[in-house]
Amino acid sequence: MAKGKSVVKGLIDSAESAFFSAIEIHNKPRIAYRYPTATLLMVNAWELLLKAFVYKYISRTKIYEGKEHTISFSKALTYVNEHINSSEGHNSFTATKDNLFLLVEYRNNHTHYFEHELDPIIFMLLSKAALNFNSFIKKYFKRNITEIENLIILPIGFTLPFDPIEYLNKDVLQDSNSKFTARVINAIKALNDAGIQESIVVGFDVYMNNIRKCTNADIIAAIDQGNLNAITINKGIRITNDPSAPAVQLDEISLIKSQFPYSYNDLIKELQKIIPEFKRNKQFHKYLSLVKQIPTCYKIRLLNPLNPNSAKIGFYSNEAIAKITNLYKTN
């Protein structure tokens, strides 16, 4: 039986492998069974990670049951939850624990029957589990998985194909689907009642003027009131040094999408709609070069913001389209 650091390293290496397999499977949209498969792998990744924590921080003997078997996922999760909550502050790990319990429930009860209707809510739970995994392994094992070369980490995709509040508000799910969704909502409410604002789901994108990270209270308010504007920003945003101004969390990708929504191919398609007989010739590239010099027309970002050597991609604003169109008209 391996001992000491080799046990922890073996568990962490295997946890990372399962984690990246979950991400890879999820990000293959043609795999019809990807959510159950990604969930199985994500739960496995967390189980190995939790056992590594138990071995390193709690007791080397507690990860074993007998000579040949290790403890169950639920027992490892209970050990870690009790240890972190008692040593770092009440309920420090509770939201992470609840997120994982729900994923395990889905794995145990719902992977036996394929249900498309649950995909959005599993997306939200998986995304949060992935982000929590990244934070946990970095904090307790000094592993920064986002530094792996050419890796664009999560959050299992950067934008949502649906509005999570709208999904949770829908009364269209049937039988086991509605019961599982109710379990998620009840878990969010229980956390809020306990004064915990770290949620068990993610997915509130700044794009379309939503705050990316919402508290449990925000989610409950939107669900209970059926009011999708409960988490929206209705006024314009500007930078200020006023300490009483409301804080708004923004991320680079969403800001770029809101101000510079067109890729090069999108730009071409828009110009083809506006300009008769448009061609990508020397004249077009001359105008494009002029527009690229204007900061409000063109924005470059790294494909992987965490890697300064990453490839770059450019995006264009509505102003860019207007200026190019005007150049064609006036020349």
17 and 137 co-located in one domain: yes
207 found inside a domain: no
Q: Which domain holds residue 272?
A: 253-330
Q: Which of 148, 178, 209 is the last residue of a domain?
A: 148
- Which residues fall within 8 angstroms of residue 31, CB to CB, at 6 or more apart? 25, 37
Q: Domain ends where: 131, 148, 165? A: 148
Q: Does 218 fall in a domain?
A: no
Closest CA to 129 of 48, 19, 240, 291: 19
- Is 69 part of any domain? yes
Phi–psi pair at 312, nearest 5 degrees: -115, 155
Mind listing the pLDDT tens digit of every residue in the chain (331 residues)? 456 678 999 999 999 999 999 988 888 777 777 888 999 999 999 999 999 999 999 999 999 987 778 999 999 999 999 999 999 977 889 999 999 999 998 888 765 555 556 777 888 888 899 989 999 999 999 998 876 644 544 444 434 455 555 555 554 444 445 677 777 878 887 887 788 878 788 754 333 333 345 566 666 655 554 433 333 333 344 545 566 555 555 455 555 666 788 888 888 988 988 888 888 888 999 999 999 999 888 888 766 666 666 677 788 888 899 889 888 888 7
Beta strand segments in the chain, E = 64-65, 69-70, 298-302, 312-316
pTM of the entire predicted model: 0.59
Assess whether 9 and 136 both reside in one domain.
Answer: yes
Residue 26 burial class via C-beta count within 10 angstroms: exposed 0-12, middle 13-18, buried 19 and up:
buried
Q: How is residue 16 written in tokens? A: 């990372």
Q: Is residue 55 part of a domain?
A: yes
175 within a domain of the structure (yes/no): no
Q: Which of 101, 127, 148 corresponds to the end of one domain? A: 148
Query: Do 268 and 140 share a structural domain?
Result: no
